[in-house]
Amino acid sequence: MNSKLFPRAATSLAAAFAAVAIAVPGAFAAGVDFAGEKVTIIVPFKEGGGADVYARLFQPYLSKYLPGKPTVIVRNQPGGGSVKGANKFQESKPDGLTAMACSTSTLVPFALGNDKVKYDVLSWRPVILSPRGAIFYVNPKTGARGKDIVADIKALQKAKLTYGAKNPTSSELRGLLGFQMLGMNNVNTVFGLSSGEQRKAFLRGEININYDTAGSYSRKVAKFEKEGKVVPVFTMGYGAADGSIKRDPAYPEMATMTEAYEKVYGKAPSGPSADAYVAFLHMGVTASKSLVLPKGTPDEIVDAWVDATKKVVADPQFRKTAKKVIGAYEQSYGADAAKVLKMATGIEPETKAWLKGWIKERFNHDM
């Protein structure tokens, strides 16, 4: 079942994907040469997280395909849920020698107008944007069995749930908004946990509901299903070109959160919590990971990076290595990626106001 997005979101998403469908020329501009140079990919998180894995996946191949075959290194600059590193990146020279691995947790504070944010996502020059699905799973002691989505939601509405997050405005907010939409209101949130720490806490029984990207779930969590420690319940789904939310291509047998809502309540979700959830679907899935260059980077350098990145993605060895990280999702590049990024961070003012109020009421956190 496909769940229709709300009209404004559907229109913007369809327009963005229509742009993505247009091919970008592959050849980079003559004269761009990084021979003998050192290229740094900033990761505004500590080692081991999703953005770090993403950057290190591309690192050796960019050294091969960027013009001049430069040395490419990854530098972790964590702090403030990526805000510290992103603020520093905002002032980087636009010479093609510095890029950043951007994540949902970088987009959210910008989209919500966090006063600590000094960076402007829309000023950056995207190279590649990679969607990543989100798989939600629970401890079987919650009463969910993974066989009947209506029964599972009703069980989770009654259960005492504990969920982990980095902070009140990090990428985990997508889950909290989905839980709110589904009437799963008895959720205690433990802050200060990275994605890897959340997963470990779940497996130790310290939290009982969690999510992972489709790739991380298949690599690190799915094996525990057979041991009876994990029950996958739903996904966020995937924003399609026609404005609908389709099932995740990595787990097409699983219902989406909006599909679960329709099955439980007999109608499509609506209202501010649903609008906020859709906004986070775009930031959390459609624009989950990306490589970006600093503001003011000349077109010829952006083109060189885009050309090199397309060659990386087409490389047979990269495709083999990246299969479980990037998955079956369509990548977008350059100007097309910029349009999708703009759509993903363009939360309507009334939705943003509701969301700020909800975060304040729920977590006593001022935006």
134-284+354-361 topology per CATH: D-Maltodextrin-Binding Protein; domain 2 (3.40.190)
Q: How confident is the model at residue 135 (pLDDT cuts 50, 70, 90)?
A: very high
pLDDT tens figures, 35-68 = 999 999 999 999 988 899 999 999 999 999 999 9
pLDDT tens figures, 302-326 = 999 999 999 999 999 999 888 877 8
Q: Which of 137, 124, 142 is nearest to 345 (CA)?
A: 124
pLDDT tens figures, 217-239 = 988 999 999 999 999 999 998 77
Domain ranges in the chain with CATH number 3.40.190.150 = 7-131+287-349
What does the pLDDT read at residue 197?
94
What does the pLDDT read at residue 121?
96
**Where would I find the beta strands (DSSP E) of the chain?**
3-4, 38-43, 71-76, 98-103, 125-130, 134-138, 161-165, 187-191, 209-213, 231-235, 238-239, 244-246, 289-293, 332-333
Determine whether 23 is exposed, middle or buried from the number of CB atoms within 10 Å of its CB (0-12, 13-18, 19+): exposed
Question: What percentage of the chain has pLDDT greater than the value 90?
Answer: 63
pLDDT tens figures, 278-287 = 888 888 888 8
What does the pLDDT read at residue 176?
94
For residue 8, pLDDT over 50 is answered with no
27's CB contacts (< 8 A; 6+ apart) are: 303, 307
Interatomic CA distance for residues 197 and 249, integer angstroms:
26
**Angle CA 310–335–89, to nearest 5:** 85
Domain at 7-131+287-349: CATH code = 3.40.190.150
